[in-house]
Chains A and B, each alone.
Chain A
């Protein structure tokens, strides 16, 4: 059978009539110009929330875990829910920057810096919770395998210990990855900065970047290696977080489906969070041409796929509960659906099962307002998913005599709200002082970056000259005669 190949050009990744110079100017202008009033306002709000967080955490450490709504069956509540939720959100950044990098997805360049920053700040928020949720925070260093005079090691069979390693490794690698990507851009800022302070600061951060071939060669290698390192971490960190639950014997927790289910849920919520932030930021900073509708649609597609994976996991849980004949698993599933927390279950069903179905429609996928609303709903849904898993399973497990109802206190809520303060304080600083789009990487996916195929007149690729082997922006469509 003979085959005829036809090149179907993808839409341009960067919209508008941009040159390398205009991209640099567009992105570098924010860190280098004076601070807008709106930023101060936003920063003040974020700071206020941060102060609430610090105050609440201070009171928590002063008075004890009892200020939360935890009780005897439900030893974990909002703190662990928030931990898993923030870690989940923290998945998108590294997925976008590492896995999509390895898969040569050029569209990632528009959002990877942004998403990575979000990841790092989300993991910081997440990391706070395991630390503050322990009863005696002053001896929390015992979870680290530090040689000590007591001659006692941590218990290496505890998933919580794996968590310590998983999350700290993930945070370290994400931070390094982010920073390595930032080096050429810091150099750009250094070169464009007018003020002495900015020149020095960005200069130090740029680590003496000269833009030489050797610099680029090392950079590309380092970036590739870190992407390779980060890729398994994306999968492992939430797998291990899911082990906190799956390794236990509590019905509703003790389940082999948890690792893939948690990873899918994490990507789902991470993409939703990136979308929520991106759709606001692109508007304010005039980045619509870079973070454009095509990219939003691609992200929506990822959300649709992972959302349906999560929905499928729910279905599987129900099936397994029934098929296993395990009365406790059946009991807990039944309690999800009709028990005292059934309201949470139905919110979850709406947010995570029904909502992603809207994304089958192309027009919704390309609608900024609807996408924004969906992204918010997805994040709410993913919070409730963790709520159902953590709280319901614990509070209604094996012994009906010990069943108790969990409800949060003001302090649970304040600390959760406060983490948004932590998150946005850092995020606003990031938006203000760092290039929020990877300048160097974005340039790499512009037509200008491909000198062999670039047509200066049309400011586009020359189709006839393009070769499938090298055109990473192009897809090949098979046509059968």
Chain B
């Protein structure tokens, strides 16, 4: 049969004339000059491939017909356009996996949620998990293989490997990120056996290397320390921000357990958290007693504590400044009273000897084996990676290493400055770099291979505690990136690799019984087993005493200012620098966006002549910090609660050539960090340049000004007066209007529905309400990112944040209270209150914001003309205005905007400029649940309790947010509303908010308060 149809249908005369130009034109979706993806991945291609894969795969959303991935739950029989599928997977962060369930819209992952079956998630996530979707759809992720900077094909790289690595005698250095994947570690073993002269180092700029070395000193074995915060009565965090995902890779589980230990509803006593730290961290802000201490003094503190507790091997070297300190005696008393129920935990970057000492103290307190357990890592190296790393750098400089294979990571940017990684890599003949971005290291590499995002690959791995999972792809690699295992396998075999078969091969002998069933079960569940790494009961080796001798004489820390370098709470080591959501997330403690700063206490600031920023003062002094033979200019920030004589900086900023988001934001502080001074440098030189620098901070005022917005009491006060959080108690005055309400025989608080319907609530509709438990909330900011991901909230950039126009629908307010130098910090997430008597609704001239029958304050974007009157009249200031066309700028900026558009939630309208927006209680989730319930129950509009979870609630690692139907007296949220800690924000305004708060209860040691 001829290709030409018998009858010619033509759309235009040009087509009829078989014009070549027209043919091209007709094939293009968009006319000439319209931007289209350059790498052959246009929307049409995408749809074509989608269509084909759906047709071929039948039920799976994956576009590889033979590699079946299975839905986790809620699986429709077929793909129904508009109905998302949910697939289990896991996100690796260093060598710890967090189990996830990923929402997939027609083959397009848009949102991650925690996997309730996975121990490191239990249904929750960290902000890094939530931000992962934007990382994947980052248009500036590296898209191609490059040879000496020029675009090359992957085939060329494969043939290079084939030829280059056929010589197995090469001196190869593998520098890898921490990775718990058994497939990866098998390949690592294969590589080391195949290339006898190869060295392997796991390098992470911030990791648990020192903790592993510490256990090596204490127990003669590199072991993972797992703290069980839910089982502890007393927790002592020594410079350890274990609730912060940037400081601890198991933060979600830590947070869950910590919150469980603080649960007031069980009626038991809650745990007590002591924090001894230099920087005011998220963990420190949740501490019941907090001791500000320079990081360089932590060692003396630990020694004094060890001596007070008579732990053998730890001495204060006679006595030091903490020997008779009240903190030491009180802490020792409390720890002694809670033997086997306490935890001492030390910040990762402290030196190994100190980790050994803390392990010894935990052992002496009988904590080891109960609240603190030690586990054998199946993939742990028996070497100090930091030592190996510097050996490799030496080898490079001596030119004894000819090939460097860098598997992820960016050592040129983040290796200790004294190692001069750039110089060392220049000396190597061949540098091969696998990475997400064409970054600082890639620029020095002969071969750059673009890495696939974890949502695009097959892989596997363990959670922090050792629960194994398989990572299954959600989408074909957008830019044909390769996973670490594929990359490594290509180097070993010299052939193209296929992650799916590699992972399957690993699991062939791990799955007992039928492989296919077992495999599918693991994919479905997102977890293979909840088994932990093998626990060992270690005994102290004799090495501790000797190790602790070393350094005992350095007991007096310098009087000068110390510099503490920490990972950034948003960018971590810099790997998330091109993520706009994270850049724009206010730091939990400083509320600064789009910058890193030098944090210092008010007293240190005074010494340096630094003025604090505040209301109307956005400009801060620029400092010159001289340390370790270099100097860095960085803006100063006065952080109440910071240790005196100490300055903290975070890393990851000051990037060049990474992307539009990351570049030129903040200051690169890595040059200040050397192998000898990974955590702190003493006696640095700081100068105030007198120049000013403008900071975009979202909270200019830190005091509640005597307004009882965030209510808290100590455990004792709560026991004595369980109603402490009620208005009458908080203000020692009667609630305005209550008298009237009583006289008129109305129950306070009144409800709008009393007046209208003559009954409490329309009973055919659910009545939505939310409660935020401030006792659980740790202030991490995960809710903000989750909300941003769910509700298509645009990133607006530093200038607009500086103008005070941040768009977050849920913000976390952080207040300081008490002593200016050593205050308490408190966190309060504030979404829309969905007031029953909403002040915003009354003032809108065009009725664009109105109430729904199910009690939500709704915003009709199409009707809004943008007078901003509603935002003015909102006492909670939760309404956000599109001053510019932010969404348009966010989604059409850059060379290839269509990629980032794929990250958007199709169920949420994007907002045009000139309209108001705000928290909707995730109305899209509510309504889809209502529709589903209506279909399934033949008409009821009330979804069962727990069926609707708002994005913030679902993501929250501390389960601080409750949401549900108030007409159901047994719903979780109704129970919280009856709780005596429940109170309404600004109750006296009679706005009758549907969102309420549960007051915070602390458990401080009265002797130290």
Contact = CB atoms under 8 A, between A and B. Distances in A.
Given A64-B884, A135-B865, A136-B866, A72 B871 contact: yes
Interface in B113-166: none
Contact of A75 (B815, B839, B868): B868
A157 B842 contact: yes
Interface in A37-80: 63-66, 69-76
A327 B706 contact: yes
Interface in B517-531: none
Contacts, number: 172
B11 interface: no
B815 to A, nearest CB: 7
A398 B707 contact: yes
Interface string A324-350: 000110010000000110000000000
B890 interface: no
Nearest to A133: B867
Contact of B839 (A248, A340, A405): A248
B500 interface: no
A143 B875 contact: no
Contacts of B709: 399-401
Interface stretch (A147-155, A307-315, A375-383): A147-155
Contacts of A249: 839, 873, 875, 989
Nearest to A136: B914
Contact of A66 (B616, B830, B844, B883): B883
Interface stretch (B373-381, B799-807, B956-964): B799-807
Given A73-B877, A331-B705, A398-B876, A142 B813 contact: no
Contact residue range for chain B?
35 or more
B826 to A, nearest CB: 11
What 5 A-B pairs are tightest by C-beta distance, nearest first? Answer: A135-B866, A135-B914, A71-B804, A66-B883, A75-B868
Interface in A63-112: 63-66, 69-76
B847 interface: yes
A154 B881 contact: no
A158 B842 contact: yes
A399 B875 contact: yes
B847 A65 contact: no
Contacts of A73: 804, 877
Contacts of A265: none
B273 to A, nearest CB: 24
Contacts of B989: 249, 398
A243 to B, nearest CB: 10
Interface stretch (B21-29, B490-498, B695-703): B695-703
B869 A75 contact: yes
Contacts of A161: 845
B881 A72 contact: yes
A402 B706 contact: no
B958 to A, nearest CB: 20
A401 B830 contact: yes
B881 A134 contact: no
29 contacts: A64-B883, A64-B884, A65-B868, A66-B803, A70-B805, A71-B805, A75-B868, A76-B869, A135-B865, A135-B913, A135-B914, A136-B915, A140-B865, A142-B863, A143-B845, A143-B846, A143-B865, A152-B847, A152-B863, A153-B847, A155-B842, A155-B847, A247-B842, A248-B839, A248-B843, A399-B877, A400-B815, A401-B699, A405-B617
A47 B813 CA distance: 49
Interface of B: 615-618, 699-707, 709, 800, 803-806, 811, 813-815, 828, 830, 839, 842-847, 863-869, 871-873, 875-877, 880-885, 912-916, 986, 989
Contacts of A139: 865
A-side binding surface: helix, strand, loop or mixed? loop
Contacts of B912: 136
Contacts of A71: 803-805
A269 interface: no
B913 A75 contact: no
Given A72-B806, A152-B847, A63 B700 contact: no
Given A66-B883, A135-B913, A404 B700 contact: yes
Interface in A299-326: none
A188 interface: no
A339 B815 CA distance: 19
Given A64-B914, A136-B915, A248-B843, A142 B865 contact: yes
A160 to B, nearest CB: 4
Given A160-B843, A250-B873, A394-B872, A135 B864 contact: yes
Interface string A342-377: 000000000000000000000000000000000000
A139 B866 CA distance: 10
B422 to A, nearest CB: 41
B877 A397 contact: yes
A339 B614 CA distance: 12
A399 B702 CA distance: 10
